């Protein structure tokens, strides 16, 4: 059965697809988005979960990308203060640190100042941080300062040889919640969001795209029609070009696997570490979900998007060895409580290594055959909103009179309050629902912001919350996630809408899955 003709059909429910859907729907275009699994179930839920400019990209002279990302940090922070917040990063330094001369910057230093061979001198790091502080401007985030690790709490977890550090600002973001909130806002603006919907084929007929899809739960097949097709397939963007739309485009992506490990909490303060490795790479160690530490990431080639990415034993060992070069008390395999891995679909710019490949995005329009096709390559989570604006600029010729950019000043659902007011919201929620634990109140404000009260609508007593699945998750909240946030399974809830899988037993997750299946059946 053919649908009415929509303006835009988007393949891919990651952050790029959902960001474009939100922007397009907010400008009055009719939009359908299809995601073959759950929203954000691939790359967009497997990031290091940072809004950051990319300090290390300065070594590759990607100044434009860094500046764009730095400007965007505070725009995003204001739009979503519930799921994003400022972080301070500690970069330890000592004079004997040596690195392989693998970056353009280090090669220049080794040539013009051979006495610094295989080093990043302190003044070079400080210059990079000065640029980082000033390229994008700052209203909310504090600038860089020097830390004496010998008498600072940030020095306690580190080996004695680290006496000095530089502390700078970036931001945390709940990546998979960011995807869902963009999808929610797109739907609120009239978009049709279809999850568990695989696109089998897209073909042009008389200037219109005919898109055949299959519901992977029911097996039902139907055809949608649209004036413009967006390929935001992430790791599958190349496959969609070649196999789904049968295009002759030679553009493609380089698939790079980034793995992370989560350990028991390794330090008592709330700051993050930026560690430099002898191989020229960097590693973050970040406070995570209150009781854990997130360590990552790696850069490994990944051949096939259909092969699920996994953190290999070699990558685990690499990350442990990396951080143990800094930490006073070594981290062991026994300290790891979880690992995850995602595939970054980087635009294939011909770089010699995965680490050197650009993190910027590229947008390509294919007008052959009448109906336009927009292919989205690469990108990083920090610049997703700018990517969406760029996509709409590319789409504008197909829609005369299209309105201009609008998302910079619009909060995502649950936002619309000052960054400094998060604590006040937590206190208010605790007073109004005293049967919730302090942890539950913090978690709900961080997940839903002002919409926490919508989640709890009608609740007067603890019994009104319904079945307790563990980890402070109850039937009241799960019903909201199913009705308003596209959740279908327990995995959607405990690993993407939240990270409560770290706190729940296998039996609790199984019970949750059964409850959700029963509720879906009606």
Average pLDDT (158-174) is 96
Q: Give the residue-averaged pLDDT of 411-437.
A: 97
In percent, how much of the chain has pLDDT > 90?
Answer: 80
Listed range (54-68, 296-310, 479-493) with the worst mean pLDDT: 54-68
| Among the listed residues 15, 10, 4, 17, the one whose alpha carbon sits nearest the alpha carbon of residue 228 | 10
User: What is the arithmetic mean of pLDDT over 305-325?
Assistant: 96
| Residue 239 phi, psi dihedral angles, 5° rounding | -60, -40
Q: What pLDDT, on the 0 to 100 scale, is given for residue 446?
A: 98
The mean per-residue pLDDT over the stretch 82-99 comes to 87
C-beta of residue 391 within 8 angstroms of C-beta of residue 363: yes
> What are 247-300's pLDDT values in tens digits?
887 777 889 999 999 999 999 999 999 999 888 789 999 999 999 999 999 999
Alpha helices in 5-62 (DSSP H): 15-26
| pLDDT at res. 359 | 73
Q: What is the mean pLDDT of residues 92-121?
A: 61
What percentage of the chain's residues is helix, strand, coil (to nearest 5)? 40, 25, 35
**Is residue 460 exposed (0-12), middle (13-18) or buried (19+ Cβ within 10 Å)?**
exposed
What pLDDT sits at residue 343?
94
Residue 369 predicted with pLDDT over 90: no
Neighbours of 338 (CB within 10 A): 17
Asked if pLDDT for residue 113 goes beyond 50, the answer is: no
> Which band of pLDDT confidence, cut at 50, 70 and 90, is reported for residue 7?
very high
Beta strands in 94-220 (DSSP E): 145-148, 164-173, 192-194, 197-205, 208-215
pLDDT at 336: 98
* Half-sphere exposure for 258 (CA within 13 Å, toward CB): 25
Residue 118 near residue 106 (C-beta atoms within 8 A): yes
For residue 266, the SS3 value is coil
Strand partners, 51: 171
CA dihedral 295→298→303→305, nearest 10 degrees, is: 30
For 518, list phi and psi in degrees, rounded to 5: -65, -40
Q: Find residue 171's DSSP bridge partners.
A: 51, 86
What is the per-residue pLDDT for 1?
46
Q: Is the pLDDT of residue 116 over 50?
A: no
Residue 429 has pLDDT above 50, yes or no: yes
The answer to whether 176 touches 497, Cβ cutoff 8 Å, is yes
| 327 pLDDT more than 80 | yes
Q: DSSP string covering 58-117, please?
A: GGGT-HHHHHHHHHHHHHHHHH-TTTEEEEEEEEEE-TT------SHHHHHHHHH-GGGT
| pLDDT in the model for residue 253 | 83
Which domains occur in the chain, in start order?
A: 2-44+176-252+358-409 (3.50.50.60), 81-172+254-343 (3.30.9.10), 419-521 (1.10.8.870)
Specify whether the CB–CB gap between 25 and 190 falls below 8 A: yes
Q: Give residue 115's pLDDT.
A: 42
pLDDT at 107: 59
136 touches 70 (CB < 8 A):
yes
To the nearest whole number, what is the mean pLDDT of the chain? Answer: 92
SS3 424: helix
pLDDT exceeds 80 at position 5: yes
pLDDT of 109 > 80? The answer is: no
Peptide bond into 297 cis (omega under 30): yes
**Residue 493 scores a pLDDT above 90:** yes
Considering only residues 353 and 213, tell me which one the structure prediction assigns the higher pLDDT.
213
pLDDT at 503: 97
**What percentage of the chain exceeds 70 in pLDDT?**
93
pLDDT at 152: 96
Distance from the first to the final alpha carbon of the chain: 26
SS3 487: coil
- Render pLDDT for 467-487 as a digit per residue (tens, 0 to 9): 999 999 999 999 999 999 999
- How confident is the model over 485-490, as a mean pLDDT? 98
Which residues 6+ apart lie within 8 Å of 481 measured at CB? 487, 492, 493, 497
Question: Does the pLDDT of residue 97 top 80, yes or no?
Answer: no
Q: Is the dihedral of CA 505, 508, 513, 514 positive or negative?
A: positive
Candidate from 99-103, 112-116, 157-161, 371-375 with smallest mean pLDDT: 112-116
| Beta carbons within 8 Å of 199's beta carbon, 6+ residues apart | 11, 34, 36, 211, 212, 213, 240, 244
Confidence of residue 104 (pLDDT cuts 50, 70, 90): low
CA nearest neighbour of 262 among 302, 219, 224, 297 = 297
């Amino acid at each position: 059965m053919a649908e009415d003709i929509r303006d835009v059909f988007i393949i891919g429910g990651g952050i790029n697809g959902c960001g474009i859907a939100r922007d397009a729907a907010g400008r009055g275009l009719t939009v359908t988005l299809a995601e073959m699994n759950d929203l954000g179930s691939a790359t967009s839920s497997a990031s290091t979960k940072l809004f950051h400019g990319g300090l290390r990209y300065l070594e590759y002279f990607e100044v434009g990308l860094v500046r764009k990302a730095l400007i965007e940090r505070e725009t995003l922070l204001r739009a979503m203060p519930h799921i994003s917040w400022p972080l301070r990063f500690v970069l330890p330094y000592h004079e004997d640190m040596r690195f392989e001369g693998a970056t353009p910057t280090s090669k220049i230093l080794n040539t013009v100042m051979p006495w610094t061979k295989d080093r990043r001198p302190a003044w070079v790091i400080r210059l990079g941080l000065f640029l980082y502080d000033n390229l994008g401007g700052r209203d909310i985030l504090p600038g860089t300062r020097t830390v004496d690790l010998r008498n600072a709490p940030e020095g306690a977890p580190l080996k004695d040889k680290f006496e000095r550090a530089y502390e700078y600002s970036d931001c945390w973001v709940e990546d998979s919640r960011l995807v869902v909130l963009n999808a929610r806002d797109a739907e609120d603006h009239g978009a049709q969001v279809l999850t568990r919907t695989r696109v089998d084929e897209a073909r042009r007929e008389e200037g219109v795209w005919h898109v055949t899809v299959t519901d992977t739960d029911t097996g039902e097949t139907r055809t949608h029609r649209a004036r413009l097709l967006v390929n935001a397939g992430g790791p599958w963007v190349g496959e969609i070009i070649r196999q789904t739309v049968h295009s002759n485009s030679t553009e493609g992506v380089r698939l790079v696997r980034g793995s992370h490990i989560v350990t028991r909490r390794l330090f008592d303060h709330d700051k993050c570490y930026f560690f430099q490795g002898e191989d020229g790479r960097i590693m973050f160690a970040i406070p995570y979900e209150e009781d854990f530490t997130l360590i990552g990431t790696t850069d490994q080639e990944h051949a096939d998007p259909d092969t699920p990415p996994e953190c290999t034993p070699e990558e685990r060992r690499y990350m442990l060895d990396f951080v143990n070069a800094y930490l006073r008390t070594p981290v062991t395999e026994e300290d790891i409580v979880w690992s995850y891995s995602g595939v970054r679909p980087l635009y294939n710019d011909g770089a010699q290594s995965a680490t050197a490949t650009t993190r910027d995005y590229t947008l390509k329009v294919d007008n052959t055959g009448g109906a336009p096709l927009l292919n989205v390559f690469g990108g990083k989570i920090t610049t997703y909103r700018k990517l969406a604006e760029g996509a709409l600029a590319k789409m504008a010729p197909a829609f005369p009179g299209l309105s201009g950019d609008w998302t910079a000043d619009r909060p995502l659902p649950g936002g619309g309050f000052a960054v400094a007011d998060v604590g006040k919201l937590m206190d208010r929620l605790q007073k109004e629902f005293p049967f919730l634990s302090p942890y539950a109140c913090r978690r709900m404000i961080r997940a839903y912001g002002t919409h926490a009260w919508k989640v709890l609508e009608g609740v007067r007593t603890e019994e009104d919350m319904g079945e307790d699945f563990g980890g402070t998750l109850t039937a009241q909240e799960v019903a909201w996630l199913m009705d308003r946030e596209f959740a279908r399974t327990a995995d959607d809830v405990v690993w993407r809408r939240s990270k409560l899988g770290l706190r729940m037993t296998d039996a609790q997750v199984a019970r949750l899955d059964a409850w959700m299946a029963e509720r879906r059946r009606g």
